[in-house]
Structure 1
Amino acid sequence: MFSGIPVTGIAMRSGYHLSTSALGIVLACLGLGVAVSDLVWGLLTDRYGDRRILLIGLTSTGAVLSLMAVAATPADGAGIVALGAGLLVAGALGGSVNGASGRAIMTWFADGERGLAMSIRQTAIPAGGAVGVALLPWLADVYGFRAVYALPSAFCLLAAAATWRWLHEPDQPPAPATAEAALGTGEKAGSGAGRAAEPGTGPAVEPGVGRSPLRRWDVWRLALSCALLTVPQFAVLSFTAIFLHDVKGGGATLASVTVLIAQIGGGAARIWTGRRTDRRGGRRAYLRGIGALTGIAMAAAAVLTGAPTPVTVAALAIGGLLANSWHGVAYTEIAAMAGAARAGTALGLLGTALFGAGFLTPLLIPAVLGHTSWPVVWALTAALSLLAIPLAPGRPRATGPAR
C-alpha cells in the first residue's frame, strides 16, 4: 500500500482530476496517518503485546482498503476529500505494524541477533513495496483503482491470518536491558570489533536506560536524524514518476523500474548491514556514513537532471537505494537504547518521526518545485541528508571503573 499507491501518481492525477499540488496533499495523507498514530500504537504495544496490536491493525487496515475499493474510486465520483480521508485512515491503522513487529523482534531475539532479525523485518517493507510498485501502476492502467485498493487489502488480511497462526508471545519475558543494549552500537566485549576499553574503565553505557525513551534527548536525536534521511527516500518514491513523465517524457514503466531498483537494492542492503553491524558494531557510525553517501548521490541527481535519461535514472536509483538501506540498523539501535520492555515506545517515536517526514515531503516538493526547479528539489534532499550527520548521536562515553 504505502510504496505502491504513490507510484500510481500519474493515473491518480488524471483519474481523480488532481493538480500536482493536490496529488502531493493526497499522497502526504498516507504519511500523516502513520505519523499521528505510530507513537500511540507503540505505547499500546508495550501495554497489550505485539500479537494483539498486529491483529487489530492489519484487519482494520484491510477493511478500510476494501471500503475504498467499493466507494472511493474515480468511477464512484470520489474526489480529493474522500481519497485523502481514506488514505489518512489507512495509514493511521497500518502504522500499528511498525512498533508491534519491531517489539516482537526485541522480544524473541538476543542482542547479538537483533540487527540481522530487525533488518530482515525491515526488508519486508521494500519487498512488499516492490510488489506494490510492480503491480499497482499496471492495475491502475488496466483495471482501475478498485483493483489498486483491493490487492493491498487482500495482503493485509492474509498478513493478519499469518499473525493469528504463527506469531505468539514467547514463554519467557523480554530480556532486560544490558550494557550492550544500552551501548546501542552492536559492539560486544571480547568481539574485537570495537575500540578496546582503556584500563580501569567499564563498558560504555548509555545513561538513562529504563527511563521512558520520550524523556531522552539521545533517542530524540536519533529519531530526528533518521527523519532527515527519510526525505530523499520519500522524494524518490513519491515523485520519480512525475519527474520522469514531466521532464524526460518517460512512462510509468521507467518510473517503476527506477523505484524497484531502489526498493530491492535497499532491501538487500538492509540485510547485509544488519548482519555486519551485529558482528562488527558501529550502528551509529553506519547511519552517519549513509547520510554522507545519500547526500552525494542526491547531489549527483541534481547536477545530472539535464543529462541523458539513463544517467539521471541511475543517479536517482542509487540515491533511492541508499535512502532505503539504513532502516533495520536504525530500528535496532533505537530499540536497543530503550531496552526490550520499552521497545514499542521507542519504535513508535522513530516511526512518528519517519512518517512525519513522509507526510511533509510530498507537501514540500511541489512547493519548492513551484518556485524553483527539479535540480533544486534534488539538491534540497541532498542537503537534508547531510544535515543528519551532525544530528545523529555519537558513541556513549565510558562510565567508570569496571566492576
Structure 2
Amino acid sequence: MTASGYPPARWRHLGVGLTGLVAACAAQNGLPFLTVSLRAEGLTLPQAGLLVSAPTAGLVCTLLLWGALADRYGERLVLTAGLAIAAGALTGAALADGVVATGLWLLLAGGGSASVHAASGRLVLGWFPPEQRGLAMGIRQAGQPLGVGLAGLLLPRLAGDGPGGPLALLAAGCAAAAVLVGLLLRDPARPPRTAGAVRPASPYRSPVLWRVHAASTLLVVPQFAVAGLAFDWLVREGGWSVAGAGTLLAASQAGGVAARLGAGAWSDRVGSRLGPLRQVAAAVAVVVGLLALVAVLTPAVLGPGAAAAAVALAAVATVSPNGVAFTSVAERAGSAWAGRALGAHNTAQNLAAALTVPLAALLADGAPGYPAAFALGAVAAGAAVAVVPGRAAEVPAPPLAAVR
C-alpha cells in the first residue's frame, strides 16, 4: 500500500500527537533547568538530581500498563487520561511544601505523562505507510527536543522565586494538550480480525527486538548525562549565566529536531532502521567523548566558547537515534503488539534515565567531576554500537492498517 491509500488527516493526527509529546517531554525532561534554583534552596546536586529524575521514575512504573491499555482501548482515551493526570500532579507539585511531597507529585506526573510515549507511537504505525514511517516517527520524536527547548527558554526565567512557577507552567501545558487530544484526535483503523484466527505471536520470540531495546537503553545514558548536567556545568564551570545557558541549550534543541527528522528520512530512503541506528550510535560515542575531553580543559584552556560548542553538538547528537529505534520497534512488533512493545522500550529507556541522572550527578559532585560523568555516556554509546542487530535481522515492514 502506498501513501495514496492514507488520507491527509494523518498529518493532523501526527501534529496532535506531537503536541502531546512536547508537553509531556517538557515536564519529564525539562527539570534539569531548575537545578540551579533547587540548589539555591539548599539542595545538593545529588538531591536535585533525585528530584529531576522523579518523573522518569514514574514513567518506568506505568509505561507497560499504558501500552497494554492503548492496544486494547485505543490511543485517544489513553493520551487524554494520561495528560490530564500529569496536569493535576504537576499542579500538586507546584503547590507542594517540602521536597518529599514535591518528589511524590513529580513521580505521579511522570506516571501519567508516560501514556504519550506508549500511545503516540501507535498513531504513526496506524496512520502512515511504511515508506513514510521513519520520517513520521522522526517528527513525532522531535517532541522531546522541542519540549526540552521550550523548557530551556522558559523555566530558568520563571524560577527566580523558586520552582513553583515553572511547575505550574508545565501543568498548564499538559492540560492544554489533553484538551487538544480529546477534541482533534481519532484512533486509526486496525486490521480486521477474522473469527477463529490465530492471535499474532509474540515478537519477543526473536532476539532482535530485545537487542534493539538494549541498544536504545544504552544510548539513553549519554542523552541524559548531557541533558541532566550540561546546564549546571555551563553555569558552574563553563562561564555562562543561567539565562545564557538555558537559551543555548534551548537553541540546540532545534538541531536535535533536525537530527531526528534527518535520521528518520535517511532510514526511509535506505530501507533500513538498524543500519542508521548503528551509525548514529557510533557518532554519539565520538561526540560525547569529545565533550568529556572539553570538560577536562574548559574554561582554563579552551574558554566558554568551546564549552558551548561541545554541549550544543552533544545535545544534538544524543537525541538523534530515538526516532529510528522507535520505528524499528513498532514495525517489528506489529499492530497487535505495538503498544506493549513501545511501552517496554520506553520502560527500559526511562529506567536507565532515572538511574543515569543521579549517578552522573554523584560523579560530577565528587572527585571524578563532570568529565567522568560525560565519559560514562560515551562508553555506553560505544557499547550500543555492538548491541544493535545486524541488517540481516531486518525484514521489510508490511502496511499495518486498513485503507482509510
Give the TM-score of the pair, scaled to structure 1: 0.84
1:34-73 counterparts in 2 under 5 A?
A: 34-70=59-95, 72=96
> Is 1:229 the equivalent of 2:230?
no
Match of 1:341, SS state, is coil
1:141-290 counterparts in 2 under 5 A?
A: 141=160, 143-170=161-188, 172-174=189-191, 210-290=200-280
**Partner AA of 2:190 in structure 1:** P
Alignment partner of 2:106 out of 87, 90, 98 = 87
**Partner AA of 2:50 in structure 1:** I
Alignment partner of 1:350 out of 327, 345, 348 = 345
> Is 1:312 the equivalent of 2:268?
no
Q: 1:395 Cα shift?
A: 1.7
**Partner AA of 1:374 in structure 2:** Y
**Conserved 8 A contact 1:3-1:133:** no
Q: Distance in 2 between matches of 1:21 and 1:175?
A: 51
Alignment partner of 2:283 out of 293, 296, 319 = 293
Q: Distance in 2 between matches of 1:341 and 1:56?
A: 22
Identical positions, percent: 35
**Residue of structure 2 equivalent to 1:194:** none
Q: 1:22 Cα shift?
A: 0.8
What do you get for the CA RMSD once the two structures are aligned? 2.0
Match of 1:336, SS state, is helix
Alignment partner of 1:110 out of 110, 126, 129 = 129
Q: Distance in 2 between matches of 1:283 and 1:95?
A: 24
Closer, same or farther: CA 300–46 of 1 in aligned 2, 3 Å: same
**Residue of structure 1 equivalent to 2:360:** 365
**Residue of structure 1 equivalent to 2:333:** 338
Q: 1:261 Cα shift?
A: 3.7
**Residue of structure 1 equivalent to 2:376:** 380
Q: 1:233 Cα shift?
A: 1.3
**Partner AA of 1:390 in structure 2:** A
Q: Distance in 2 between matches of 1:375 and 1:113?
A: 39
Q: Distance in 1 between matches of 2:262 and 2:164?
A: 37
> Is 1:124 the equivalent of 2:119?
no
Alpha-carbon displacement from aligned partner over 1:328-387 (angstroms, at most 9, x marks no partner): 111111100111221111111111111111101112112323241222222221111110
**Conserved 8 A contact 1:69-1:145:** yes
> Is 1:11 the equivalent of 2:41?
no
**Residue of structure 1 equivalent to 2:28:** 2
**Conserved 8 A contact 1:229-1:384:** yes
Alignment partner of 2:392 out of 396, 399, 402 = 396
Give the TM-score of the pair, scaled to structure 2: 0.84
**Residue of structure 2 equivalent to 1:190:** none
Match of 2:392, SS state, is coil
Q: Distance in 2 between matches of 1:377 and 1:228?
A: 14
**Residue of structure 2 equivalent to 1:196:** none
Alpha-carbon displacement from aligned partner over 1:196-237 (angstroms, at most 9, x marks no partner): xxxxxxxxxxxxx94324544221211111111111111121
**Partner AA of 1:164 in structure 2:** G
> Is 1:101 the equivalent of 2:120?
yes
Q: Distance in 2 between matches of 1:168 and 1:334?
A: 23
Structure 1, unaligned runs of 5 or more: 177-208
Instruction: Report the count of equivalent residues.
Output: 358
Q: Distance in 2 between matches of 1:32 and 1:214?
A: 24
Shifted more, 369-378 versus 320-329: the winner is 369-378
Q: 1:397 Cα shift?
A: 5.2
Q: Distance in 2 between matches of 1:154 and 1:377?
A: 33
**Conserved 8 A contact 2:229-2:361:** no
Q: 1:119 Cα shift?
A: 1.1
